[in-house]
Structure 1
Amino acid sequence: MREYCMVDLLTMEYAAAEITWRRKEIARRLIGTSANIKDHTINRIAPADLELLFGLYDELFLAGWFRHCFAGTLGFSLSSRLTKSAGKTLCPKDIAQRKPSEIRIEIRIGVNFFLQYHAVKNPKPVCGIATADSLEALQLVLEHEICHVIEFLHFHASNCSAARFKRLAGRLFGHTESYHKLPTAQQIARQKYGLRIGDAVSFRFEDTVLHGRVYRLNQRATVMVRDRFGHYTDGNGRRYTKYYVPLELLQK
């Protein structure tokens, strides 16, 4: 136990070839073990898969430090509400005042970035590294969040724009950037359906064709339709009703 806890996560460093090998080995083991992820295309995923993936990273990159030395709790969750960040690490604000056993950190992953990975044909780098498939993209996002976890535990704060984070991510995982270019809902709407925010559209609702404008684009479009009885008002006093419409049902 003592030898694990003497590992310094802040100074660990791997050569590029070693990082690539370990990342591929983790993918191989995950595919062989996960109940949901059976190849490099993610069609189904559960929080248990994230926990499994983190455990493999702990073993192959972090010398088992979390398994043997972390006294707190790590949580894993999936969210369809993350539309810009593909991952997020949640840490208690009073982490500095908590006992090690009272610390709970959660890694939350924006699931739609990976389920819709192939919806657009653009290159999809993550953390400055080109990705070939949705599993590799997920791995790189999790690597980024692992660096946040390490910073929170050591410094009680984390900032992926700062030099300290970039050094850590570079040494451990070869990251050169702190952002991703995975397909967003707006990119998918634009490329697949030709839709943009502000477009005039029509759609059928209860045997009536309604006309409005696209106000927001996520997994569905938010469309504002003029309605004198509507609950939403613009700056000119015009009233609207809000509708959530599947993208494929909209006509420009």
Structure 2
Amino acid sequence: MSDILLGIKVDENTVCRKRLEIYRRTIERSPRINNGKITSLSPLDLKLIFDLYDEIFFNHWFNKKCSSRIEFSISKRMTRSAGMVKCSINKRSGEKNFILQIGVNFFFNYDELESEKNVCGIKTGDSLEGLLLVFEHEICHIIEFISYGKSSCRGKRYKTIARNLFSHVSSYHQLPTYRQIAGTKHGVSVGDCVVFHHRGRQKTGFVNAINKRATVMVRHEEGQYIDSKNNRYVKFYVPLGILEKA
């Protein structure tokens, strides 16, 4: 049973020491992570980091005693959460299996803004530190899922687990989002009226969404997108650097 994990309480100094050891070994063993700045990441790196946490914090409990299967994946589509755990339950056996997914763009874009970047209430110095803290957050979800069949980082129980294991004081991160980068570096926000050039012609529209590029809706009588006033639009995906406010 996972009761042994729920009973663990690690003091803050020990947490910092163990986290630093994982940081050091990740750089030492990963062929893609050579320093604290993450420029490439694969599911194999996530597996490496998880195994290090299992060894250093949990004495190989997941490897030796946990019956659940844990898989790892990378997402470039995650725009709000830097990490996510998906739990599936076998209806016959009741066994819980997990996918731990990481939104890589949060870490690739870590240095895009110079603001302070706290993760789980802890100040980070580089993107690898941020990744480790997000990883800890997701590990707490897995532990709560295994123990209770559901998990919510808004709940008191989850917050107690995260605080006891990793000294987390918050369930949120302040890693740069594409919206924040667009607003700070390009002065563009959702809803803004903007101008850009497409195939040599100037287009005017409004910003409907911001991810790696801006989604801009341009009025056109033959457009396939229709608003509540029956105005028709054509959708364009536009690099942020070529947008100008109208």
TM-score (ref. length: structure 1): 0.94
Q: What residue number does 2:93 align with?
A: 99
Q: What residue number does 1:38 align with?
A: 34
User: 8 Å contact 2:219–2:234 — kept in the other structure?
Assistant: yes
User: 8 Å contact 2:96–2:146 — kept in the other structure?
Assistant: no
User: 8 Å contact 2:3–2:147 — kept in the other structure?
Assistant: no
Q: What residue number does 1:65 align with?
A: 61
Moved over 4 A (4+): none
Q: What residue number does 1:145 align with?
A: 138
| Alpha-carbon distance between aligned partners in 2 of 1:18 and 1:11, rounded to the nearest angstrom | 16
The alpha carbon displacement at 1:7 in A equals 7.0
Out of 166, 185, 198, the residue aligned to residue 191 of structure 2 is: 198
Counterpart of 1:241, as a letter, is V
Out of 210, 214, 217, the residue aligned to residue 217 of structure 1 is: 210
Q: What residue number does 1:162 align with?
A: 155
Q: How many residues align?
A: 245
Q: What residue number does 2:244 align with?
A: 251
> What's the RMSD between the two structures over aligned residues?
1.4
| Alpha-carbon distance between aligned partners in 2 of 1:20 and 1:194, rounded to the nearest angstrom | 38
Query: 1:159-200 CA deviation, whole Å, 9 max, x = no partner?
Result: 111111111100100001111111111000001111011111
Out of 126, 132, 154, the residue aligned to residue 119 of structure 2 is: 126
Aligned CA distance change for structure 1 residues 73 and 23 (closer, same or farther; 3 Å): same
Out of 175, 186, 199, the residue aligned to residue 168 of structure 2 is: 175
Counterpart of 2:93, as a letter, is K
The alpha carbon displacement at 1:98 in A equals 4.9
Counterpart of 2:125, as a letter, is A
Q: What residue number does 1:188 align with?
A: 181
User: 8 Å contact 1:7–1:65 — kept in the other structure?
Assistant: no
Instruction: Name structure 1 gaps, 5 residues minimum.
Output: none
- Equivalent residue of 2:118, what SS? coil
Structure 1 position 117 matched with structure 2 position 117: no
Q: What residue number does 1:232 align with?
A: 225
The alpha carbon displacement at 1:103 in A equals 3.3
Q: What residue number does 2:9 align with?
A: 13
Structure 1 position 77 matched with structure 2 position 70: no
| Alpha-carbon distance between aligned partners in 2 of 1:32 and 1:61, rounded to the nearest angstrom | 19
| Alpha-carbon distance between aligned partners in 2 of 1:250 and 1:98, rounded to the nearest angstrom | 54
Q: Among the aligned pairs, what percent are the same residue?
A: 44
The alpha carbon displacement at 1:99 in A equals 2.8
Aligned CA distance change for structure 1 residues 98 and 175 (closer, same or farther; 3 Å): farther
